[in-house]
Amino acid sequence: MTAIRVTITLPHHLAVPDGEYVASPTGESIHLEVRVDLSPEGQPALIRTSVSSCFDAADGVLGEAAAKIASQQARSLLRHTNRLLRWYRQLASRPAVLEVTRAQLSPFRFMIDGTGTPWSIPVLEYERNQLPMPAFASVGELGSAVRGMFATGNEPDVADLTLLDGEHAMNVGRFREAVLLCWSVIDSSFVRKFSSLVDGSLAGEWVGTRDFLKGFDFGLRHKMTSGLRMVAGRSLFDEPEGFWGTLSASYDKRNAIIHKGQSADEDDARHALDVARRIVQIVGTL
């Protein structure tokens, strides 16, 4: 076995001593160290904190097997780093210290520990999320659309704006907020549409039935499945590509954040954003 060290550099400096920080009762740890990057003459040096962890890998591991190990170790280091940042943020009362994304920390560097020799996967890089391009052929076309909507005196749809808030929260490392914002979009857009479908399709039914289907006691996932099938002939349980499993897992994460105070990571935020976008798209077809 060979000891491998994976290292990342934070976008800021943490005012704590260098050294090992135990990450769990099982003995996992990360190592913090001040890093000073020289700047052009006349400019102050950039002081940041590097974070690393060490793991054992089989001698001579290469290719896909090494890439899989590197990805797992990068994810583990990111998880520990963000938990450390949450504690530092609270204890140091530093609201500007936020959690970090894979892209913000990229590249993750892998070296044979104590030698300075690159491992078989020397660098793991993650690209920043590409923002979707506006559906306009030119700046002039976009300007015309802005002028037209602005002149109405109306406001943009709250769900659309909240979805953008969720995307921004994910990109700056506020993962819990991203999950909750995305589920706010889902709740408001789907429930509003479902209520109108109930009123339209069951207009002649007993009002108590309509109120029950629209009420809190008839849970959101029931509304998305049997309830939607009843009033619109469609169920989100039947959506392709494992969508229902992703939606349910994200809904459970949302509840765990609200009711149990759990944290969230970048993948949780991304899944919530994917679900919210898909729900908004589906609601538009109902």
Question: Are 255 and 165 a contacting pair, CB within 8 Å?
Answer: no
Per-residue pLDDT tens digits of the chain, which is 286 residues long = 899 999 999 988 999 999 999 988 888 899 999 988 776 666 777 889 999 999 999 888 888 999 999 999 999 999 999 999 999 999 999 888 888 999 899 999 999 998 889 999 999 998 876 656 667 778 888 888 888 888 888 888 888 889 989 998 998 889 999 999 999 999 889 988 988 899 888 888 888 888 888 887 888 999 999 999 988 899 999 999 899 999 999 999 999 999 999 999 999 999 999 999 999 999 988 8
Question: Are 129 and 103 a contacting pair, CB within 8 Å?
Answer: yes
pTM of the model: 0.76
In whole angstroms, what is the distance from residue 282 CA to residue 286 CA? 7
Per-domain boundaries in the chain: 2-124, 155-283
Q: Which tokens go with 209?
A: 């039935």
Which pLDDT score, from 0 to 100, does residue 134 have? Answer: 65
Which pLDDT score, from 0 to 100, does residue 85 have? Answer: 93
What's the pLDDT tens digit per position in 110-150? 999 988 899 999 999 988 766 566 677 788 888 888 888 88
How many CB atoms lie under 10 A from the CB of residue 140?
9
Which pLDDT score, from 0 to 100, does residue 39 have? Answer: 67
Contacts of 254 (CB under 8 A, 6+ apart): 179, 180, 183, 272
Which pLDDT score, from 0 to 100, does residue 129 have? Answer: 64
How many CB atoms lie under 10 A from the CB of residue 240?
6
- Secondary structure element (H or E) that encloses residue 122, with its range: strand 117-124
In whole angstroms, what is the distance from residue 2 CA to residue 4 CA? 6
Query: What is the residue-averaged pLDDT of the chain?
Result: 89
Place of tokens 């450390």: 84
